[in-house]
């Protein structure tokens, strides 16, 4: 057994589409307009323990497409995975959950968003490649700066 000899374990248990929504609140009138839409894309990550040694990691994409101030279409897709992670040093755990797992989920999310847009009657929205390593390092740096600033603020009072 892996737990008995403390061998590190990292396995994908399941990858699945957790949530998907499409809205076209101003159809059909807005579909007749020839104006180029503005596209806003937002990505978020979340991770939660699912059971002992198992974690659910989710990558969510929200694509909001507008013509002027009216929504043409809004797509939100949440791609999730259950990962077994055991006997991994604590200092490596955040990187696995914040970099490795999202990198495995993201290609599925990209395909889903593109497919939903096409099936809704629009050109596919192709999510760009994401450097999850850079995102993770930026979050770590921001957290470190906040921690360093907090003691300085406390000593000023």
Measured distance CA(79)–CA(18) in Å, rounded: 6
Query: Across residues 37-50, what is the average pLDDT?
Result: 94
What residue has token string 């897709």? Answer: 77
Section 55-69 average pLDDT: 96
Look at the chain and report how many structural domains it folds into.
1
pLDDT in tens, 80-133: 999 999 999 988 999 999 999 999 999 999 999 999 999 999 999 999 999 999
Q: CATH number for the domain including 98?
A: 3.10.420.10
What is the token pair recorded at 24? 């076209």
The boundaries of the domain holding residue 51 are 2-156
Supply the pLDDT for residue 156. Answer: 55
Give dist(CA 17, CA 115) in Å, integer.
13
3-class DSSP state of 20: strand
Share of residues in the chain with pLDDT > 70 (%) = 93
Reply yes or no on whether the pLDDT at 152 is more than 80.
no
- DSSP-derived 3-state class of residue 92: helix
Q: How much is the pLDDT for 34?
A: 83
């Amino acid at each position: 057994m892996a737990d008995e000899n403390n061998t590190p374990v990292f396995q994908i248990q399941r990858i699945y589409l957790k949530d998907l929504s499409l809205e076209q609140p101003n159809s059909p009138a807005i579909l007749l307009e020839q104006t180029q839409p503005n596209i806003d894309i937002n990505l978020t990550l979340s991770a939660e323990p699912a059971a002992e040694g198992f974690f659910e990691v989710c990558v969510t994409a929200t694509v909001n497409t507008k013509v002027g101030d009216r929504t043409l279409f809004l797509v939100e897709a949440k791609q999730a995975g259950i990962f077994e992670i055991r006997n991994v040093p604590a200092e490596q755990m955040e990187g696995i959950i914040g970099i490795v797992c999202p990198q495995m989920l993201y290609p599925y999310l990209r395909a889903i968003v593109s497919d939903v847009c096409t099936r809704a009657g629009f050109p596919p929205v192709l999510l760009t490649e994401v450097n999850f390593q850079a995102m993770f390092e930026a979050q770590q740096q921001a957290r470190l700066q906040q921690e360093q600033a907090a003691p300085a603020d406390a000593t000023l009072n």
